[in-house]
Amino acid sequence: MIFENLEEIEEIVKRGDLDAIERLRGGKSQSVRYEPPYIRSALMLSGDRLRHLNRLDGLEADVVVLNIEDGVAPSMKPMALRLIALFLANAKSINSRTVVRINPLNEGGTEEIEYLNAILPDAVRIPKVKSADDVAKALELVDERIKIDLSIETKEAFEALSTLRVDNRVELFYLGILDLLASMGIPQRILQLHNPTVHYILSRFLLKSAAQGALPVSFVFQEYTDNEAFENWCLLERKMGFHAKGCISPAQVEIANRLFSPEEEELEWARRVVELFESDPNRSGFADEELGFVDEPIYKGAKKLLESFGK
């Protein structure tokens, strides 16, 4: 836990005293950093939930998305922003990439970015983008030391997917499938495991994101008590080629981390590919009885897998 006792902070929140939160922070920015070698889980935490924020230093999620957009009452958004800053500044250790999900740029997001530039989270997640121009505007506003993540949740963004990574600072795309369906006028009842339209949305999102070098993070599954259904979604998405999933509970994080980690057989295959390719003096590709044909792209994929998991 970041704070041993939350009573003082709870009293300040009840009073709605933003200045008192600022005095507690003492002008400090995020104090520690962690860059996960391989992203499998992105856990959403509401910025107005003190007890959740207080566990920020002990979470197993590869990414923690600290949310001040959907799910936070308008009256609480200024307080949530400052609470996020307070906990980031006081954490002595963090085992996650920290991302703050702001409000749309024209609905308070611009001012939130100005505030966060002094806090220096690892990334800011921009919602409701529609075009590359929106992304370029965000890049101008956000401190160059902070990365940019995008929520893909409008029909315009979905159509413009291949144009949105306008800078290397743009690293992760998150699929907001419920908002996307609403934006398109498609009923949310189609969100079923074997629905072909959903498979198309997932496939297009995956391929268009990955082709630009952005990491595609699949949608948050809202039924947080139904771990069996969540696991089935992860299995489908892993089969499709995803290796990162949005989460809203520690149980979902455990499932995502387990299912999106490579299995020992896959790691052993990668070790063998790297060993044989690096021992080949020509490095031009070769056929192996067990591995099949191995060329440079296969070697690079195997090497990246081993580097990510420190094997």
What letter does residue 220 receive in the DSSP assignment? P
Q: Which residue spans within the chain are E strands per DSSP?
A: 41-46, 63-67, 97-101, 123-126, 147-152, 170-175, 215-217, 245-247, 286-288, 292-294
**pLDDT confidence of residue 311:** 53
Judge if pTM exceeds 0.75: yes
Residue range 222-232, pLDDT digits in tens: 999 999 999 99
Give the mean model confidence (pLDDT) for residues 166-173: 96
Q: At the topology level of CATH, where does 7-261 sit?
A: TIM Barrel (3.20.20)
**pLDDT confidence of residue 114:** 98
Nearest residue to 66 via CA among 77, 25, 205: 77
Q: Where in the chain is the domain with CATH 3.20.20.60?
A: 7-261
Residue range 230-255, pLDDT digits in tens: 999 999 999 999 999 999 999 999 99
Give the mean model confidence (pLDDT) for residues 87-110: 96
The answer to whether residue 287 scores a pLDDT higher than 80 is no
The answer to whether residue 283 scores a pLDDT higher than 80 is no
Residue range 186-226, pLDDT digits in tens: 999 999 999 999 999 999 999 999 999 999 999 999 999 99
